[in-house]
Amino acid sequence: MNTARLALLLAALTGLFLAVGYGIAGPGGMIIALLLAVGMNAFTYWNADRLVLSMQGARPVSRAEAPDFHRIVEQLAANAGLPTPRVFIIDSDQPNAFATGRDPQHAAVAATRGLLANLTEQEVAGVMAHELAHVRGRDTLIMTIVATLAGAISMIANLFFFLAPLGLAGGDDEEGGGPLGIVGILLTTILAPIAAALVQMAISRSNEYRADKGGAEICGHPLWLASALEKLEALAKGHHNPRAEHNPASAHLFIVNPLSGRQMDSLFSTHPSIENRVQRLREMAGQGGGGRGPWG
């Protein structure tokens, strides 16, 4: 399933990338965009974990520095049948977490200082089980590629938006520009980031529901994750995350939206609403879902 989803996602985002190139510089721009897309996908595949961890200012943490955090991750990974991922901490007061890596053998999990300071051990376990569900489902590769391509599309479109009025980009079709000249450039710069965002949000929202269910099964207690999500939503609103705000294309990597201006379930939300996610987890708990986690 994930292979098919990844192929569909790559096709959609690469198509957007080509459309941006064609709208800005015609057939030549489309070829350049194709080469860039191939190069970026290859680079992202091999460097996904380092790219995202560096972007968010995550630092590796030793067992001596965070013994409880390491123990939780190790127990959950064993319960999920996964290799123990590398463990990182983000020096941010905003409680949040994410996972990254191209496959379970190259995975890493990161939690903010605010998350570890404000959640109980059971709630931390629920959050990290959610992240390990992403690793087990290989969502981490998909999510990182989405972040890279969506960010690149927005960056290139915004660049040409500012260059076009100065006569430094585009031109009419005879001059090698896009088929609609300056109009094509303006339409591309406006519509391309929106289209990329729609693809990004659609894949992210479905992934979060699936990881919530998988995380509840890994830790064995759906209500631990439900409690953590409610607490994260309340606490995250009061803490700004400058690195996430500077890299909004990576917002969908986190367990809760790290950006300001969070709203309920909507087309442009990177995450399903916490209320909807908690309701599903409570229904799962009521049906006896979850299984037996490492805490029994």
Q: Which residues are catalytic?
A: 131
Cβ-based neighbours of 224, under 8 Å, separated by 6 or more? 122, 123, 125, 126, 129, 216
Q: How many residues does the chain have?
A: 296
Spatial separation of the C-alpha atoms in residues 245 and 83, rounded to whole Å: 32
Spatial separation of the C-alpha atoms in residues 53 and 62, rounded to whole Å: 16
In this structure, how many other beta carbons lie within 10 angstroms of the beta carbon of residue 292?
Answer: 11
Torsion angle (degrees, nearest 10) of CA 120, 86, 204, 154 = 120
In this structure, how many other beta carbons lie within 10 angstroms of the beta carbon of residue 49?
Answer: 23
Q: Which residue has the tokens 């037996």?
A: 292
The angle, 0 to 180 degrees and rounded to 10, between the axes of the packed helices 2-55 and 139-163 is 70
